[in-house]
């Protein structure tokens, strides 16, 4: 499925979020806030044409699509929470949160905290 932003230029997460209808913008902004609360030291960037959060490497990405918001916490972030994610379509590196349902922000927060710990541990080797 093609992203809604495929032919539009944006340079930061604010510009990315502004491309969408209000209902989607609200979900994206809330997702962004939850990620930043769980990883306050993270840097916001655009990578692979998606909002991305970095801290000692990539933490997570997200992107809006026609029917869902894709959340990309790397394979380890999905494997560690496989049971909690069982109600969502997911693969090795992505989770789909349908636009017509609430995003499970409690799970998102746990995954981001896990990824922060994981990335910080890699730099302490």
- Which domain does 51 fall in, by range? 13-120
Is 1 within the bounds of a domain?
Answer: no
Is 70 within the bounds of a domain?
Answer: yes
Q: How many domains does the chain have?
A: 1
Instruction: Tell me the average pLDDT of the chain.
Output: 93
CB atoms within 10 A of CB 30: 14
What global pTM score does this model have? 0.91
Contacts of residue 123, defined as CB under 8 A and 6 or more positions apart, other chains included, come to 56
Q: How does DSSP assign 63-89, residue by residue?
A: EE-SSEEEEE-HHHHHHTTTTTTTTSE
Is 5 within the bounds of a domain?
Answer: no
Mean pLDDT score, 4-31: 89
Is 3 within the bounds of a domain?
Answer: no
Please state, for a pLDDT cut of 70, what percent of the chain lies above it. Answer: 93
The domain that holds 73 is classified in CATH as 3.90.1150.200
Distance CA 92, CA 96 (A): 12
On the question of pLDDT at 105 being above 90, the answer is yes
Is 36 within the bounds of a domain?
Answer: yes
């Amino acid at each position: 499925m093609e992203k809604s932003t495929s032919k539009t230029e944006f340079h930061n997460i604010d510009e990315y979020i502004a491309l969408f209808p209000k209902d989607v913008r609200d979900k994206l902004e809330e997702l962004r806030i939850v990620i930043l609360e769980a990883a306050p030291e993270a840097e916001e960037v655009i990578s692979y044409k998606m909002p991305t959060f970095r801290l000692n490497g990539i933490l997570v990405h997200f992107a809006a699509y026609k029917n869902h918001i894709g959340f990309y916490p790397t394979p380890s972030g999905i494997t560690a929470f496989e049971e909690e994610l069982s109600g969502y379509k997911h693969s090795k590196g992505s989770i789909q949160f349908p636009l017509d349902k609430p995003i499970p922000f409690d799970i998102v927060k746990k995954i981001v905290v896990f990824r922060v710990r994981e990335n910080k541990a890699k730099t302490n080797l």
